Amino acid sequence: MMDETSEPATARCPGPSVQDYLDQDSRPVPPALRYERNDYLGSEDIDTARFTSREWAEREMRQVWRRVWQFACLESEIPEVGDHEVYEIGDDSLIVVRTAPDEIRAYVNVCLHRGRKLRTGGGNVSEFRCSFHGFTWSLDGTMQTPPCAWDFPHVTPEKFALPEAQVATWRGFVFINMDPYAESFDSYRGTFDDYYIWPLENRYKSLHIAKVLPCNWKIAQDAFIESFHVIATHPQMLTWLADANSQYDVMADQPNWNRMINIQGAPSPHVADSVTEEDVLETFYDSRSFYAAAQGRDLVMQEGDELPAIPPGGTARQVLAARMREQLAATSQQDFSETPDTELLDAINYLLFPNFNPWGGAKSNIIYRFRPNGLDPDSCTAEIIFMSSPKQPGETRPGEDPLGARGHALRRHPRTRRARARLRPGLREPALRPAGPEGDAQAGHHAGELPGEPHPPLQPDARPVDEQVTHRVAVRPSGVELEVLDGEDVFTAARRLGYRWPTLCGGKGTCRTCFVQVDEGAENCSPVGPLEREGIEALRRPVDGLTRLACRLRVEGPVTVTKRGVRRPVQE
């Protein structure tokens, strides 16, 4: 426990600050990003009961979730009158419905007769009818004449309207508050709008992933609003990500929002003395900078490409920003000539408490959402939403959520038995997703070609299929089994079968032929990072006098498969 007389700790490590880097930006930086403030709010210990106690989880439901403004859905998910989404939080369920072209309401999702849910998922209806006894409410929440009305003389439509929550919209997002006496959403946001300057209302949802994590919602959210964990969890990023000198904006008079700015394209202070500008550039490309790539900023090197040269006196950060600017202009047909380097490269992450985490940036943006999974203090629902920009200014948005039926199932039925089975820890989102726009969806987490590039066709093989198949890879957690042909790697096989292999989104499996665990797809699908090379070399070494090839490596030469699953060369 910190002594009350203790002095506040230093807010950041020595060395260049975020603002020092912004001073060197090649373009003018907007005032919103020049703001820096870190009020000391204390460093006392936090009781672990806040993260583990069922009693505390129930207290949070009463005193937090039922009293604060929270992100429920997107306006674009309910474009027509009667369109609705079910928003679940703790043991509460609400129907968020468009009741008129310019009106959205939120009702408690419960029949006032016997307490059954009126809706188990989203869709479009003209009224809300309980499937148990047929009690019905209009879209405006008023009760219609009940069935067998003579048995309910005490029930009048005026007294049995569906209870409502407050609703507000902001830049295309719908927020609800179950407290009828709560402050307005405009007041709740405080100065947030002055510092989040990107037009989310002009973007569309291109991807929505939901998973149940085996931890408290606050633990999950904490990991995405700090970069302290990089040194242990992502050490391969230290050469190009300035973790320890991130900027954290925390304001005592703005308790409902905060911000983190993390510089990319510059080394961590932990390793800066031993890293050259060329190291920064090379490792940035090696690791594919998946945080930036996930927002449609993929600077992956293609085979045969040369690293761009750093001019005398220049920096890797300047070169990377210039390349980002060129690539975004080419892929979106928009002008980024005046966009500052920081908006192209850096992780700019906001939290509007309790469950709205939008990233800032010049192109597409990530939205995180974390919320309790029922009243279980040891699990939560974590969601990632990609908000993408239409290619041309003024271009109409394409349809939302290209994940299709499965994406809707994850969003609309997070607490049904079937969805719980899909989402329980260890068995969640399929590791393989369809190819094309459904699988791409700004997916910098995916390995392979840039979106839109056709995969080269495979040459037909005249041999019987049994002779062609050299590996059978069971992909976790979906259970999909890939048949890898002679001369293929896992990634090529996945593409041939209509899937993409996401290297950083849980794409793991085990080969049932050689019993080698497949962790990150194929070696040749992306540049291999320095920490990965050692593992690949270990897989190439002989085992018990035999040569065991990992499925992640391209098969070279004729091979046979033993019953024990160990692959060895055919004797000439």
For every one of its 572 residues, what pLDDT tens digit does the chain have, with 9 covering 90 and above?
Answer: 344 444 555 556 888 999 999 999 999 999 999 999 999 998 899 999 999 999 999 999 999 999 999 999 999 999 999 999 999 999 999 999 999 999 999 999 999 999 999 999 999 999 999 999 999 999 999 999 888 888 988 888 888 999 999 999 999 999 999 999 999 999 999 999 999 999 999 999 988 999 999 999 999 999 999 999 999 988 888 999 999 999 999 999 999 999 999 999 999 999 999 999 999 998 888 775 444 444 444 565 555 667 889 999 999 999 999 998 988 888 777 899 999 999 999 999 999 999 999 999 987 789 999 999 999 999 999 999 999 887 665 565 655 543 333 333 333 333 333 333 333 232 223 233 333 333 332 222 222 222 333 333 333 444 454 455 666 666 554 556 667 776 666 556 665 665 543 332 234 555 555 544 554 433 333 334 444 444 445 444 444 433 333 343 333 333 333 333 333 343 43
- Could you tell me how many residues make up the chain? 572
> What SS3 string covers 19-69?
HHHHHCCCCCCCHHHHCCCECCCCCCCCCCHHHHCHHHHHHHHHHHHCCCC
Return the pLDDT at 13: 82
Beta sheet of 517-518, edge-to-edge order:
481-485, 469-476, 508-511, 517-518
For the chain, the domains span 18-39+187-423, 70-181, 465-569
Q: Which fold has domain 70-181?
A: Rieske Iron-sulfur Protein (2.102.10)
Rounded CA separation 489/523 (Å): 8
Residues 6+ apart with CB under 8 A from 476: 431, 506, 508, 509, 510
Against a cut of 0.75, is the pTM above it?
Answer: no
Return the pLDDT at 11: 58
